[in-house]
Structure 1
Amino acid sequence: MTVISLKSAAVREGVTLPYAEAGYPSGTPVVFVHGLADSWWSFEPLLQRLPGSLHGYAPTQRGHGDADRPPDGYTPEDFAADLVAFLDAAKIDRCLLVGCSTGGVAARIVAGSHPDRISGLVLVGVPATLADKPAVAELDELVQGLSDPVPRAVVEGLMTGIAGRPIAPGLLKTMADERLKVPARVWQQTLRGLLDADLRATLAGILVPTLVIRGDQDDLLPRNDQQAILDAVHGARLLTYEGAGHAVHWEQPERVVADIAAFAASRRW
């Protein structure tokens, strides 16, 4: 298993992000971006399995986990700006960017706006859009009604059905605990920012090599949603994991790491 180091990076005044770092210094830099209500812990199964060819970084986004919680700044553009600032703070000149779930929205904004910093993009269970999904409308109604402290039953309920295969109970407990750290207002502002944004527009202008990973049992992201990404991003290719649900990187971390490593090796860095 790879040793994980915990560090922090000040990305702007009043906003410091904790992050996990793992792997060999000479490896290809890979920055992992988590989704709504998660933290760097979302990538612990991947960081533990990094091969010598990769050097991983997993920041916790503002408002999440143990990161600072400013009163505002929770749009996809805000998270993308923090991500660029994180690259600067961590002295990462160029990296492979891996976005999971809604974290892939900020990742693709950065890939499109800063192609000099991003050599490749991997989107794991990332929606093309959220506007056409009834389950997301139901989630928004639930989230907008939250108040502090957010009930554990709500958090655990939202994690039900996200996987097509069993997930380690310890990981599920850790992620539930991490989600309980997120204030109701951050849940609300982050989700509202995603729903108010034109997510299809964030797919425009991506010229870096792109790999899309999807579980074929993902009830949130149908095949046509992922096809919209493939149609918008020239040269993007799709890997489908049979039997996997939305939380692909929790269900099959070994395969996800192997596919990321193979994708990194196929690029010219």
Structure 2
Amino acid sequence: MTIDLGRVRAGTEPAGDLTIGFRETGTPSGTPVVLLHGLGSKAATWDLFAAELAEDSGWAIALDARGHGASSWPGEYSLDLMVGDLLAFLDRRGFDRVDLVGHSMGGGVAQLFAGSHPRRVRRLVIEEAAPPARTPPAEPASEPPAEAPGPVDFDWRLVRPVYRGLRTPDPDWWALLASIAAPTLLVAGGPASHLSRERIQETAAAIPDARMVEIEVGHHVHREAPAAFAEAVLDFLR
């Protein structure tokens, strides 16, 4: 099912056992650019960038991750399951190869997908995301609360498993970076971000063909500096 909202076509697509919500912008031609949001966000966070991409003759499809937006809220969550959801969506739409852009949690999913399915990704953009530290912190990170502290518009049940996936040292994740075949751009948010520049640099060094750009606005680069983000990413995708 698809609903035309002016320049954005919003819809849902069966993908495996789930329904995946999406927002599509631009004229379907060439390689689609698939956009993956961060934890607690949704596909609409990419609307401004998708519009810039469409102006540049591109084609963007932003997805709602499971437990977010118009996608199913199944109660079962992990980064690996989100990788499977992405694969099911691409297969359902008949996309053999895409450009993939991911922010934060979505950037983790994008890394894992590109390493597990290297031929499916033409170019990869990772905004403010890196594998967990290689060794556990001196003091274990506190668990998020079991219940949301206030109203949220996503399934709070996903927070603990996703946080664990992003924080628990995983040598397999680091090893998987070497399998990424796509040219890769890593976008760092600078000192205002909670994610260290050194970790992003380390991630870039582990990917065979990667470079990093820093836009010093914090963790949400595409939202806080949309023009600078679009300039860097569109130039890379071209």
TM (normalized to structure 2)?
0.87
Give the superposed CA RMSD.
2.3
User: Mind listing any 5+ residue stretches in structure 2 that lack a counterpart?
Assistant: 1-5
1:68 aligns with 2:75: no
SS at 2:32 equivalent: strand
Distance 1:42 1:132 in 2: 32
Residue 163 of structure 2: aligned partner: 191
Structure 2 CA distance, aligned partners of 1:133 and 1:216?
23
Q: Once structures 1 and 2 are overlaid, which stretch shifts more, 80-89 or 188-197?
A: 188-197
Q: Give 2:3's aligned residue.
A: none
Which stretch of structure 1 is more off in the superposition, 42-51 or 92-101? Answer: 42-51
Please report how far the alpha carbon of residue 132 of structure 1 lies from its aligned counterpart in structure 2 after TM superposition.
6.5
Contact 2:64–2:71 (Cα < 8 Å) also in 1: yes
- CA distance 1:91–1:225, change in 2 (3 Å): same
Q: 1:114 to 1:49 in 2, by over 3 A?
A: same
1:253 and 1:107 map into 2 onto residues whose CA distance is: 20
- Does 2:150 correspond to 1:151? yes
Matches within 5 A, 1:118-129: 118-129=121-132
State how far apart, in whole Å, the 1-side matches of 2:15 and 2:91 are: 8
Structure 2 distance, partners of 1:216, 1:209, is: 22
1:254 to partner: Cα distance: 2.2
- Greater RCO structure (CA 8 Å; 6+ sep): 1
How far does residue 181 in structure 1 lie from its aligned partner after superposition? 1.8
Instruction: Output the CA distance in 2 between the equivalents of 1:82 and 1:197.
Output: 23
1:232 aligns with 206
- Tell me the number of residue pairs that the alignment of Structure 1 and Structure 2 aligns: 229
The answer for the alignment partner of 1:56 in structure 2 is 60
Give 1:225 shift: 0.7
CA displacement at 1:33 relative to structure 2: 0.9
Say if 1:46 and 1:257, in contact at 8 Å, map to a contact too: yes
> CA contact under 8 A between 2:50 and 2:60: conserved in structure 1?
yes
* Distance in 1 between residues matched to 2:51 and 2:218, nearest whole Å: 21
C-alpha distance in structure 2 between counterparts of 1:256 and 1:28, whole Å: 20
Structure 1 residue 238, shift from structure 2 partner: 0.8
Alignment partner of 1:46 is 2:49: yes
Q: Which runs of 5+ in 1 are unaligned?
A: 153-179
1:12 is aligned to 16
Instruction: Determine the structure 2 residue equivalent to 1:200.
Output: 174
Relative to the length of structure 1, the TM-score reads 0.77
Conservation of the 8 A alpha-carbon contact between 1:64 and 1:181: yes
Inter-partner Cα distance in structure 1 for 2:135 and 2:224: 26
Q: How does 1:46-125 map to 2 (within 5 A)?
A: 46-50=49-53, 51-72=55-76, 74-125=77-128
Map residues 16-35 of structure 1 onto 2, 5 A cutoff.
Answer: 16-35=19-38
Determine the structure 1 residue equivalent to 2:222: 249
* Runs of 4+ residues deviating >6 angstroms: 131-134
Where 2:46 maps in the other structure, the secondary structure is helix
The CA deviation string for residues 216-250 of structure 1, in whole angstroms up to 9 with x for no partner, is 23331222111111210122111111x31110000
Partner of 2:184: 210
AA matched with 1:262? D
Q: Deviations over 1:48-85 (max 9, x none)?
A: 3223331000110111123111131x221111111111
* More deviation, 111-120/197-206: 197-206
Identity %: 32
Which digits, 9 at most, give the CA deviation of each residue in 1:145-168, with x for residues without a partner? 2315x414xxxxxxxxxxxxxxxx
> Is this contact kept in 2: 1:128–1:228, CA < 8 A?
no
Change (3 A) 1:252 1:205: same
Q: 1:133, 1:220 within 8 Å by CA — same for their partners in 2? A: no
